Amino acid sequence: MRKQTLLLLWLLLPAAPTLANDGFGGLTATGLQFQHSDSVRMVSEDLFISPSQIRVASVFRNDGPAEVKGEVIFPLPPISLSGLVDSGFALSEERLQHDNVVDFTARVDGTTVEVRSERIAILEPPYDGHRPPSAGYDVPGEDVTALLEGLGIPLSLDVAEVAATLGRLPQAGKEALKAKGLADFFDGEPPIPAWSIVVRYHWSQTFAVGRNVTVEHSYDPAPPGGVFVWPEQEKDLDPYQQELVRTYCIDAATRNALTRRLHGREGDDLAGSGTAVLLDYVLTTANTWRGPIGSFRLTIDKGRASNVLSLCIDDIRKTGPTTFVVEKRDFTPTGDLRLLIVSGVEE
């Protein structure tokens, strides 16, 4: 039964860049953006992160001489349509067909706000494993929305719908897409779109002078992950595993925890194997507000008590069987969070 379980995992988790050769795709998680303001600061931020949900409660205050109006923006990173074709994804096909793919909700001072969404199509740069998570927001790629819309191609995440539209295009339209590197066409096979879709949620917000405004939002982060393999001896780490050590600050104590979790049973045919979730969170979006975050609190829930968590952050303390907390004052994020959460292969 356990051999069949691991075989099923390998079959379900085809190639994706996030976990060597055995992963499924997903989304980086992020906070709220605002056009840079010299008046509105973030008084506090209370951030909860888990693989299944992210919740954020932030208090903002306008210290300027006049009220400030603008758009509060929640961006998703690009979702590759070709990636949806050739690998698994953390969101189901049904969810990808919804306008609100991550179940994003927002409240202002306790009242639910109407959140609008927009989509653009981009041609992403080549994959770079060292590209920071925030790069998917800052410079996501070349905007090709107008070209697709001019050909009548929907900005949809339903790959079957998009492929059917591509198949109906006149030859001139197909050639235009091929020349731009936006689609591949094969005899007897559905066309494969090569662009990505960026979804941005947003709403208009007014910040009155000298008044606190509480903004709460939550969503499903849908992180990538896949099969995770870890050797019993540190000397046997391969280059990819060594990169994981650097990226997620896997120290000696965490390496020991991984060894105990994945090599814990004698005669286990699956020794050294498990599953992992790679949960990134873009903290640096907070720098679009004025000054540092006055009071910052981060709570991480790793899921099961037996899961192993690793990340690069100072002053983290364990507060429960699955929870960890970080608290900071006058906090200016200089980098983004990258969490590794490892589970064993469960019977």
Of residues 234 and 135, which shows the higher confidence score?
234
Cα(172)–Cα(161) distance, rounded to whole angstroms?
A: 20
Strands 293-301 and 40-49: parallel
* CA atoms of 295 and 287, how far apart (whole Å): 14
Q: What is the fold of 2-119+203-344?
A: Immunoglobulin-like (2.60.40)
The backbone torsions φ and ψ at residue 125, rounded to the nearest 5 degrees and listed phi first, read -70, 165
Strand 105-108 and strand 111-112: the pairing is: antiparallel
pLDDT tens readout for residues 88-144: 788 888 888 888 999 999 999 999 999 999 999 999 988 776 777 667 666 688 999
What the block records as the tokens of 69 is 């109006």
User: Which two three-digit tokens encode residue 66?
Assistant: 């006049």
**Residue 227: pLDDT over 50:** yes
Residue spans of the domains in the chain: they are 2-119+203-344
Q: pTM for the full model? A: 0.84
Structure confidence by residue, pLDDT tens digits, 44-81: 999 999 999 999 999 999 999 999 998 898 888 889 99
pLDDT tens-digit map of 253-299: 999 999 999 986 655 666 788 999 999 998 888 888 888 999 999 99
From the list 258, 271, 220, the residue with the least C-alpha distance to 340 is: 258
